[in-house]
Amino acid sequence: MTDTFPESAGKVEIIPNGIASDLREKNQWREPEEPTILYAGRLERYKNVDKVMRAVAKLREKNDRLRMRIVGRGPVKGELEKLSHTLGLNDGVEWYDRLPQRDLFPLYASSTAVVLASEHENWGNTVAEAIGVGVPTIVANASSLAEFVEEGLAVPVEPPMDELKLAAKIGEVIDDPKKFSPKGKQSPLIISWDEAAEKTFAPCMSLVNS
């Protein structure tokens, strides 16, 4: 924005979406006994869920205990279900429809890693929530997700996405999940909804009082 409107430099503050602080506190991450990869979000082609599935299938050749959870709905769900059978994942994938947050946060907390391989995101709500509970989070180092990488909160995969890059990074994380957990890290990108509201309200009050 400041490149397009240089006069706005120093006058613009980006306020991230908040996360539910009560659910965050109740669902802090602990490394699960069984390695589990979680994707949560819309099932759209640009999300690259198919590439994550292929990466998981590749890793299962050496570790058949590895599982994947897919949460969400969207136009490519049918294709992804067929791909699951083609890859021989079958009972290695757990499918969930769109879940309320009270049910989603426990999945974050009980997964080995959350993966979002989309190269085109305006903001990663799933990523912020996952980081908030401390689960290792793997993202495409592109678009808004690169901000989480810059803050040292997420594990990057360099674009363009492919199954080999994803498999390598997922394998690295599941070998030592605690090493990659952002648990305890502080960042202006991870805030509560109360904090987001306060940050939004404060400039409005300053204009009213000026």
Domains defined for the chain, CATH in brackets = 13-209 (3.40.50.2000)
**CB-side exposure of 159: number of CA atoms within 13 Å?**
15
pTM: 0.89
| pLDDT of the residue at 192 | 72
Interacting residues of 180 by C-beta distance below 8 A, sequence separation 6+? 113, 136, 155, 172, 173
CB within 8 A of 190, min separation 6: which ones? 16, 19, 128, 131, 132, 153
CA 97 to CA 27: how far, in whole Å? 20
DSSP state, 58? Answer: H
Query: Which range is least confidently modeled, 8-22, 85-99, 130-144?
Result: 8-22
What is the share, in percent, of the chain residues with pLDDT greater than 70?
A: 85
Tens digits of residue pLDDT in 89-121: 989 999 999 899 999 999 999 999 999 999 999
For residues 82-113, one letter each, b for 16 or more C-beta atoms within 10 angstroms of the residue's C-beta and e for the rest, the string is ebbeebebeebbeeeeeeeeeebbebbbbbbb
For the record, the structure tokens of 172 come out as: 């690295």
